Amino acid sequence: MPAGSGAAAETITVAQQKVTDEKPVFATVESISVVPARGRIGGTVVQLKVREGDRVTAGQVIAAIGDEKLVLQMKSLDAQIEALLAQAKQAQLDFTRTEGLVERGILPRVKLDEQRTALNVADNGLRARTAERAVINEQLNQGQVLAPTDGRVLKRLITVGSVVLAGDPIVTVAEQNFKLRLRVPERHARALKAGDKVRVDGAELTGESSKWGVIDLVYPQIEEGRVIADATVEGLGEYFVGDRLRVWIAGGARPAFVIPSSYVATRFGIDYVQLRKGDETIDVPVQRGRAMPTPSLPDGLEILSGLRTGDQLVRP
C-alpha cells in the first residue's frame, strides 16, 4: 500500500546493534540489615503496639516495659520529698526568726550560724532526693521500647506479660531499603560487575512491566559454586523479605536486529513486517526471536532473519 505522511511518521530504519545476552538467575529480597529493638530496663512487658509486617519509623514507641519496684521507689521518694520540703520550710522560718533576734542582740551570733547550717542541710537533702526521683523517672521512661530504624517488623519475640531483662530483644526490624541478593553461577561471574543493569521478570510483577535495577556490589568470594551480588531495584518494599524472584543478568554481548514488537504482524502463523520501497510497502516474512526489552525500548523484539541493515520498517 502507498506510504502516506502518517506512515512516514511511523517509519524506522533497521540497524544492527549490540545486544546483551541475558541469563536468568534467582534472587531473594533481603534487608540490608535486620536490627533488634531491645528493652533498656528489666521488667514485665505491659504493652506491645506492633505486629509482624507493620511499618515503623525510627524512634517510634513499639512496646512498654513496667517495673513495679520502680513505681514503689517513686512513691517512697515522693513521701521523703514532702517531708524534706516541710523541714526546709521550717528551717527557713527558724533562720529568719533567729536572724531578727541576733540583730536586736537577744541571741548570740553563733545561734544564727547554727540555723544557717540547718537550713543548708535541709536544702541539700531536698535537692538530693529530687535528683534521685529524676533518676527513677528516667528509668521509667526508658521502659518505652523504641524502633531503632525505619523498616518493617519481621518478628515479635515476646508477648504482653513476658518478663524481660535489660538488653533483651523485643522485636526484630528489617531496615526499609531492601536489596535483591543474586546468586550467580561462577561461569557467569567474569561478566558480572558493579553498575550492570538487571531486569526483574515482568511475570513476577502483578499487573506491571519489567523493572530494572543496578548491581551495587559483587562479593569477591565464591560459595558453593555461586557468586553473590547485591542489586538495587525500586519497589522492593512491597515484597516479603526472603521472596524469591527471577532476575535476568548480562551474560555477554552480540550483534542483533531489535525492533519494536508492534512492527510485527502475524497472519496464519507466519510473522511479517512491512518494508518501505519507494512509495509502496511490501510484506516480508521474518523469523521472530525472543523478547529483548530495554529501558529505552520496553517492547523490544529480536528478529533472527528477514531483515537487513538500512531497511525501512513501517508500522502495520
Render pLDDT for 165-202 as a digit per residue (tens, 0 to 9): 988 999 999 887 788 888 888 877 777 788 888 888 65
Contact at 8 Å (CB) between 284 and 263? no
User: Can you say whether the dihedral through the CA atoms of 174, 178, 184, 186 is positive or negative?
Assistant: negative
CATH 3.10.129.10 fits 40-65+146-174, yes or no: no
Q: Give the residue among 36, 35, 46, 44 at the shortest CA–CA distance from 165.
A: 44
The three-point CA angle 71-74-78 to 5° equals 145
Does domain 5-31+177-314 fall into CATH 2.40.30.170?
A: yes
CA 59/CA 52 separation, integer angstroms: 18
In this structure, which amino acid lies at residue 109?
R
Parse the chain into domains and list their residue ranges.
Answer: 5-31+177-314, 40-65+146-174, 68-141
pLDDT at 237: 59
Q: For helices 68-103 and 109-141, what crossing angle results, to 10°? A: 160
Asked if the model's pLDDT at residue 5 lies above 80, the reply is no
User: Helical H runs in the chain?
Assistant: 5-9, 68-103, 109-141
pLDDT band at 204 (very low <50, low <70, confident <90, very high): low
**Rg (the chain; Cα; Å):** 38
Q: Quick one: pLDDT at residue 169?
A: 93
Q: What is the mean pLDDT of residues 32-40?
A: 86
What is the model's pTM? Answer: 0.49
Contact (CB, 8 A) for 158 and 47? no
Give me the mean pLDDT over the 233-250 stretch.
74
pLDDT number for residue 3 = 34
The residue written with cell numbers 533567729 in the block is: 98
The per-residue pLDDT for range 67-119, each reduced to its tens digit, is 777 777 778 888 888 888 888 888 888 888 888 887 887 778 788 888 888 88
Cβ neighbours of residue 167 under 8 Å, at least 6 residues apart?
A: 38, 39, 40
Q: 203 falls in which pLDDT band (50, 70, 90)?
A: low
Q: Which amino acid is at 198?
A: V
